[in-house]
Amino acid sequence: MTGSAIGFESLGEEKRIAELPVEGEVPGWLGGALLRTGPARFEVGERSLSHWFDGLAMLHRFGFADGRVSYANRFLEGRAYRAAEETGAISYSEFATDPCRSVFKRAMSLFQPRFSDNGNVSLVKLGERFAAMTETPLPVEFDPETLAAAGVAWDVPGELTTAHPHLDRDGGGMLNYAAKLGPRNRYRFFRLGPESGAVPEVIASTPTREPAYMHSFGLTERWIVLAEFPYVVNPLALALSGRPYIENYRWKPALGTRFTLLDRSGGEVLGPFETDACFGFHHVNAYEEDDGTVVADVCTFDDPAIVESLYLGNLRNGAAIPAPALTRFTIDPASGEIASERLIDDPIDLPRIDYGRCNERPYRYVWGAGTDGGGFFDRIVRGDVVARTSTTWSEPDCWPGEPVFVSRPDASGEGDGVLLSVVLDGATSTSFLLVLDAATLAEIGRARVPHHIPFGFHGQYAAV
């Protein structure tokens, strides 16, 4: 199989390679590791998983030392993976694949939910610990050197969460969201300290009747920015419908998109502020203007058709994928007015910014993966949200993943550093690590892996 479809084929072999061949060069100042997670196994026994988001998670590690690059990969050995290995069957509900439990077992799951710990979406470092995460409340801790799993990393105060927490600058911990489902559903935002054994502290909450699908949220120095796209669920249906998780959500555009601001320190709630219906996975950044106006930048779609387009059958057949737009929402808390505008022409998603310098603050540059809407991500995009311009990198028959920004040790300003992206080479059915200058998108070097790496989602560079 060639072309982008190979990115949705399983990778079964685990390897450790001491040194990859490098073309060009890799900066000597890169001295840590790029850690990534993503789906890598799309079959269990005789059954195929349904959706890109369902594949069993694999961790990947690109290590850097003196211009050399090593590589290792390993399946995330949580309970979902172990059950699949031991039984040859799907034992836990995934995003769009259900284990076909009986009606009785689905009813019992209201009281004893069987959450998957298939952390194939994102990684986070909390204190000295690393964890792989998905949208269920079971982050899996792992060793950043050996990639061995070490059990559930911490508790989450709810049944649904995001795999995109924010750093808590003041305490060195993290802030995240959880939906508490029951007779009275609530969105909860919690803080978790960096020390092992820390207990999550709920710092703000607000009620909801039909929780919206939420993949990420925004954060300013004062506010948590909650965006409720009108893709909502009746919580009872999650347990009793017999349908996979995401198939219980319903698109209700009449609700509009609602933004709510929750004070990080006092729990004060402002809003909701309503605007036109749209859908999105990823917040890019949020911040406050001097006059109190809140700015939230989000990669948006007209509707949730993107979810349907990412079923594996569609992806392997080259079906069209909706193009994401970088959209700025400007909220005036005093008047209740909200406005929106597109920032750059190039479609962009899987966004990254210079987090250490700019998260929660005004910023200028965003990097992401792009597509023209005709197929899978085929370019890297650098957006300038001040000049409203963009630059792209692309290469024939190549499909890049999320570009992770790494700042130079002596960076002179925002965006002074490199991008690291795992690229599928359709011509050879293998993958390579691409290193680009973040300012110009000029190639610095690449390190080739002797096999394909299935398309993943997110990763982190860490000085480990």
Task: Determine the Cα–Cα distance for residues 438 and 458; give it in Å rounded to an integer.
Answer: 18
What letter does residue 95 receive in the DSSP assignment? S
Can you give the pLDDT at residue 16?
98
- Distance between CA atoms of residues 141 and 337, nearest Å: 42
Q: Edge-to-edge strands of the sheet including 257-263?
A: 218-219, 223-228, 257-263, 269-275
- In angstroms, the CA 177 to CA 195 distance is 19
Reported pTM: 0.95
Q: What is the pLDDT of residue 417?
A: 98
* Residue 113: per-residue pLDDT: 52
Q: Are 35 and 462 in contact (CB under 8 A)?
A: yes
Domains (range + CATH), the chain = 3-462 (2.130.10.10)
Distance of CA 380 to CAs 76, 123, 332, Å? 28, 21, 33
Strands 122-126 and 129-133: antiparallel
Three-state DSSP state, 3: helix
Q: What's the N-to-C CA distance of the chain in angstroms?
A: 36
The DSSP code sequence of 208-226 is -SSPBP-S--EE-SSEEEE
Alpha carbon distance 159, 45 (integer Å):
28
CA distance 169 to 174: 8
Amino acid 106: pLDDT:
46
Handedness of CA 41, 47, 52, 56 (dihedral sign): negative
Find how far residue 261's CA is from the centre of its chain: 22
Residue listed under structure tokens 């072309």: 3
* DSSP assignment of 275-336: E---EEEEEEEEEE-TTS-EEEEEEEESSTHHHHHTBHHHHHTT---PPPEEEEEEEETTTT
Q: Provide φ and ψ at 323, rounded to 5°.
A: -90, 130
Alpha-carbon Rg for the chain in angstroms: 21
DSSP symbols for 213-277: P-S--EE-SSEEEEEE-SEE--HHHHHHS-S-GGGG-EE-GGG-EEEEEEETTT--EEEEEEE--
| Best CA proximity match to 434, nearest among 390, 396, 383, 400 | 400
Contacts 24+ apart (CB under 8 A), 104-111: 106/239, 106/240, 106/242, 107/239, 107/240, 109/239, 110/239, 110/240
381, 448, 437: which is closest to 408 by C-alpha? 437
From first to last of the 464 residues of the chain, give the pLDDT tens digit: 457 999 999 999 999 999 999 999 999 999 999 999 999 999 999 899 999 999 999 999 999 999 999 999 999 999 999 999 999 999 888 999 988 654 445 444 443 456 899 999 999 999 999 999 999 999 999 999 999 999 999 999 999 999 999 999 888 899 999 999 988 999 999 999 999 888 999 999 999 999 999 999 999 999 999 999 999 999 888 777 778 899 999 999 999 999 999 999 988 999 999 999 999 999 999 999 999 999 999 999 999 999 999 999 999 998 889 999 999 999 999 999 999 999 999 999 999 999 999 999 999 999 999 987 678 999 999 999 999 999 999 999 999 999 999 999 999 999 999 999 999 999 999 999 999 999 999 999 999 999 999 999 999 999 87
